[in-house]
């Protein structure tokens, strides 16, 4: 797949923030295995919901307190009866399982990727 060139202005319009997972629940109604997340992005953004297809490497009980990165300015997306408000970011491993993108060290919730 060829990489498409984008301008720095295009990149700057994508708002990627860090937040802390405060709740994680199984999402058995999803077509693809997923976990429902509640992520706290701090005062300016608050708590947002996300559905993440991360069941290969993560269980809901292991996610509480973990910081993750997410796009916070995409429009909400309905997944069945659930509304995902942010896109939690991850990368596929060699088998296709998603590995979450997160900071190496604790940073303030709501911090923006630059």
Helix (H/G/I), strand (E/B), else coil: 95: coil
* Residue 82 near residue 51, CB atoms below 8 Å: yes
Does residue 28 sit within a domain? yes
Report the distance separating Cα 52 and Cα 57, nearest Å. 12
**How many CB atoms neighbour CB 99 within 10 A?**
13
Q: Is residue 105 part of a domain?
A: no
Q: What pLDDT, on the 0 to 100 scale, is given for residue 114?
A: 86
Residue 108 falls inside a structural domain: no
Q: What is the pLDDT of residue 59?
A: 97
**pLDDT higher than threshold 90 for residue 35:** yes
Chain segment 44-96, per-residue pLDDT in tens = 999 999 999 999 999 999 999 999 999 999 999 999 889 999 999 999 999 99
Do the domain assignments include residue 20?
A: yes
The pLDDT, as a whole number, for residue 1 is 66
Q: Is residue 113 part of a domain?
A: no
Task: Give the domain CATH number at 53.
Answer: 2.40.50.140
The domain total for the chain is: 1
Averaged confidence pLDDT in the chain:
96
pLDDT category at 2 given cuts 50, 70, 90 is: confident
- Residue 34 belongs to what domain range? 8-100
> Looking at the domain assignment, is residue 54 inside a domain?
yes
Residue 110 lies in a domain: no
Q: Is residue 111 part of a domain?
A: no
Mean pLDDT, to the nearest integer, of 33-47?
97
């Amino acid at each position: 797949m060829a990489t498409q060139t984008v301008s720095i202005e295009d990149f700057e319009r994508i708002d990627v923030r860090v937040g802390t997972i405060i709740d994680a629940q199984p999402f058995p109604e999803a077509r693809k295995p997923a976990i429902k997340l509640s992520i706290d992005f701090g005062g300016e953004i608050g708590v947002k919901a996300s559905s993440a297809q991360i069941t290969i490497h993560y269980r809901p009980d292991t996610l509480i307190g973990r910081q993750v990165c997410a796009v916070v300015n995409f429009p909400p997306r309905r997944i069945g009866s659930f509304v995902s408000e942010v896109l939690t970011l991850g990368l596929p491993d060699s088998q296709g399982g998603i590995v979450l993108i997160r900071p190496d060290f604790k940073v303030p919730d709501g911090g923006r990727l630059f």
